[in-house]
Structures are given as structure tokens and as C-alpha cells.
């Protein structure tokens, strides 16, 4: 009798769970739906993303105009072959959206092309939105190992947002192998895109696709709830990152531990580059955000920044003097009035202080070209 009661109890629980699943599925399908899923169309791109997103957290967006479906490497970098002669300079740009804009902004792209074409110098641009020192570290390893890039000049952009990204977004997702940084994992966006794209390519029947999508959605929601639970008891368990406003707040009044962590992260990247025997010169570029500048109307609801990532570079170079590393600190040029800048140069209401295309071209890219020209002519 007891066994029979247990059986019916378990059967009732099973039926209840099945009904709950079906009701939830149809409710989700009707009122929320799967229309907003991002899907990669091409199978080769899916394979490429699945391989490198495991290490790089995220890659260039597959719908970007400069990502070529027939050249998978453009998901990681763009290349310009302007000289077939060996032993000439090759330049690699490493950084975030500020360098990605060199590809997307037509005038900036043309200025770069004209300069390198005139000087017959090959260059590669690996700038990717939200890449900070940890991701650039891994990205450079991949470019060396899998794509055999051996540039002799590195142009490295470190943005003010890198500070918050490293602490808020990447710190708790790092993976090491034998003490060497190997990966920064993404547990949210890229896994969803890759999974959804594979299911979309595998099945023709939409109902079956929706079942798989919904199962993944449940798993994702459970993981998200677990993360929020962990955050209640341990603030360091945030594995999804934080809002732009929170990210930028780290520049207002960071703790000594946060500054030390970011400094060590930058130092790890610079040591990797400095110890590469193929690299002759490293040009580090930093640019202030509008909330660093007293003469510029700041973004509302944030406040003035007291921390500037360029100071981390200066401190590193003071402690580790090297004739290999140079620092183009735009804040210094602005403060000395060698460069004039106003609120009109920034994209309106952009909390991350990107420059408008004309300013990006004439101030940012032109300044970098002038420094590259100096480096090339140093004997």
C-alpha cells in the first residue's frame, strides 16, 4: 500500500511538472517569443565563434560591415597587405571600440589606409568592442599561435572603460593554465548565440527549434538566478558584468585594491608584449573621457573622474623603464593645449565618451599616425 502511494505521488508530481513545462512553454512562445534571438547565418562562422568565444568572451559582431563571411579572420582582425617585401615594418592595432572605429568610420579608415599605403607598411587592426588588457592578452596569444602574426610595432589602446570592465566583467571569469592566462569566459551572450545558431541550422521544424530554445532559456534563467543569489552573500560573484553607469563609477573613487588589480592586469599584458622578440616598439595610447576634462560639459548623473588609466601606464614606465615602450597620453596634450577639444567632439549623451567621426579622424587617428611616423623613423 505504501509503495502504491509513493508511485502515485511520483506519477502525480511527474504529470504536474510536465503540465507546468507545457504551460510555461506555450506562454513563453505566445507572449515573449523567440523573435529576439541573434542567429549566425553561416555554418563556418558558427564554428569559428564557438572555437574562439570559449577563450575570448566575445568577438567582433558577425553583422558588422567589416566582418566578411568569406574571411573568417575578420571576426578577429582585419589585414591590409601593402608591401610584399620582407623585413619591413608591420603594425598591429590592439584595443577596443576606439580602434574598431578605425575600420567602421570611413574617414578614419581612409586616413589610416593612405598613410600606410604611402609608406608601404602592412598593418592589422584587431580592435574589438569592450576589449581590455585581459582579453587583449589572450587575443594576442591567438593571433600569434593560430594566425602567425609577428608584427614589429604594436599600437595598444587602453581605454578608461577598461578599468571597470576588468573588475566588473572579466575578473571572475578568468581561466589559467600553468599560471598563464588562457581564457575569459562568457556565460551569457555568446553561449546563447552559438547554441541558438546551431539549433537553427540543425533543425527545419520550427516547433522543435522552439523546444530547444526554451530548454536553453530555462537553463540560462536558473544560472542567472543562482548568480544573483551568490551576489547577495558575496559581491565578487558577479559574472555578468555591470551597467555602464556602474562601470564608469570606478573612475570616480576607486579603492587601492582595485587600482592594484588593474595595474597588475596591465603589467601582465605589457610584459607579454615586451618579451616578444619580434616586437621592436610598443606605442600605448590613452585618451581622457569627457568627465576627466574641466572645460568640457560632462555626462550627467556620473560625476568628475579622479582616476585616469594613463597614470597607470606612466607608473609602469617609471618602475620598468624600457626603450621599447612609448606612451601617447592625449590628456597631457589636451592639458598643455597642444590639442583643443570641446563637448562638440564627443558623441552626445554617450557615457563612454566616444568621439564623433570627424573628431576621431582629426584628433585621435591623426595623433596616432604622427607618433607611428616618429617610431618608424627612429633608428
206: left (phi over 0), alpha (psi -120 to 50) or beta: alpha
Evaluate whether 314 touches 329 at the Cβ level (below 8 Å): yes
* Residue-level pLDDT at 36: 66
* Residue-level pLDDT at 137: 98
DSSP state of 355: B
Place of cell 584587431: 126
Evaluate whether 154 touches 77 at the Cβ level (below 8 Å): no
Q: Which residues fall within 8 angstroms of residue 137, CB to CB, at 6 or more apart?
A: 181, 268, 269, 272
Angle between helices 366-376 and 106-118 (to 10 degrees): 20
3-state secondary structure of 94: strand
Kind and range of the H or E run holding 282: strand 281-286
* Residue-level pLDDT at 3: 64
Residues facing 176 on adjacent strands: 181
The grid coordinates of residue 48 equal: 569559428
| pLDDT tens per residue across all 379 residues of the chain | 666 667 777 777 788 887 887 888 887 777 766 666 788 989 999 999 999 999 999 999 998 988 999 999 999 999 987 666 665 779 999 999 999 999 999 999 999 999 999 998 999 999 999 999 999 999 999 999 999 999 999 999 999 999 999 998 999 899 999 999 999 999 888 888 999 899 989 989 988 888 888 888 888 888 777 777 766 666 555 566 778 888 888 999 899 999 999 999 999 999 999 999 999 999 999 999 999 988 777 777 677 899 999 999 999 999 998 999 999 999 999 999 999 999 899 999 898 999 999 999 999 999 999 999 999 876 5
Kind and range of the H or E run holding 53: helix 43-56
* Residue-level pLDDT at 84: 64
* Residue-level pLDDT at 229: 72
- The C-alpha atoms of residue 215 and residue 203 are separated, in whole angstroms, by 15
Sheet containing 325-329: give its strands across. Answer: 78-80, 122-125, 90-94, 153-157, 281-286, 325-329
Amino acid at each position: 500500500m505504501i509503495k502504491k502511494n509513493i508511485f502515485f505521488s511520483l506519477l502525480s508530481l511527474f504529470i504536474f511538472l510536465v503540465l507546468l513545462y507545457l504551460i510555461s512553454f506555450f506562454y513563453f512562445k505566445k507572449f515573449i517569443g523567440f523573435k529576439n534571438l541573434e542567429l549566425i547565418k553561416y555554418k563556418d562562422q558558427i564554428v569559428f565563434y564557438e572555437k574562439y568565444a570559449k577563450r575570448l568572451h566575445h568577438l567582433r559582431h558577425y553583422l558588422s560591415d567589416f566582418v566578411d563571411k568569406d574571411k573568417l579572420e575578420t571576426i578577429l582582425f582585419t589585414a591590409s597587405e601593402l608591401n610584399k617585401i620582407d623585413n619591413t615594418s608591420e603594425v598591429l592595432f590592439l584595443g577596443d571600440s576606439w580602434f574598431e572605429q578605425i575600420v567602421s568610420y570611413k574617414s578614419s579608415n581612409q586616413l589610416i589606409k593612405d598613410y600606410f599605403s604611402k609608406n608601404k607598411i602592412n598593418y592589422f587592426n584587431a580592435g574589438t568592442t569592450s576589449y581590455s588588457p585581459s582579453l587583449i592578452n589572450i587575443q594576442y596569444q591567438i593571433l600569434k599561435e593560430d594566425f602567425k602574426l609577428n608584427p614589429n610595432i604594436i599600437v595598444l589602446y587602453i581605454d578608461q572603460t577598461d578599468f571597470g570592465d576588468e573588475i566588473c566583467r572579466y575578473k571572475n571569469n578568468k581561466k589559467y593554465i600553468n599560471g598563464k592566462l588562457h581564457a575569459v569566459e562568457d556565460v551569457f551572450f555568446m553561449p546563447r548565440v552559438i547554441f541558438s545558431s546551431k539549433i537553427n541550422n540543425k533543425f527545419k521544424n520550427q516547433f522543435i527549434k522552439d523546444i530547444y530554445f526554451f530548454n536553453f532559456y530555462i537553463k540560462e534563467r536558473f544560472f542567472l538566478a543562482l548568480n544573483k543569489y551568490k551576489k547577495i552573500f558575496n559581491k565578487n560573484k558577479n559574472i555578468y558584468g555591470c551597467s555602464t553607469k556602474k562601470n564608469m563609477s570606478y573612475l570616480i573613487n576607486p579603492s587601492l585594491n582595485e587600482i592594484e588589480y588593474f595595474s597588475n592586469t596591465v603589467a601582465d599584458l605589457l610584459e607579454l608584449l615586451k618579451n616578444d622578440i619580434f616586437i621592436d616598439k610598443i606605442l600605448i595610447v590613452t585618451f581622457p573621457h569627457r568627465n576627466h576634462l574641466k572645460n568640457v560639459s560632462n555626462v550627467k548623473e556620473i560625476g568628475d573622474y579622479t582616476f585616469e588609466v594613463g597614470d597607470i601606464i606612466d607608473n609602469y614606465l617609471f618602475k620598468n623603464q624600457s626603450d621599447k615602450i612609448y606612451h601617447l597620453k592625449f590628456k597631457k596634450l589636451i592639458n598643455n593645449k597642444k590639442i583643443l577639444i570641446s563637448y562638440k567632439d564627443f558623441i552626445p549623451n554617450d557615457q563612454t565618451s566616444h568621439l564623433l567621426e570627424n573628431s576621431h579622424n582629426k584628433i585621435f587617428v591623426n595623433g596616432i599616425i604622427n607618433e607611428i611616423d616618429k617610431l618608424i623613423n627612429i633608428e
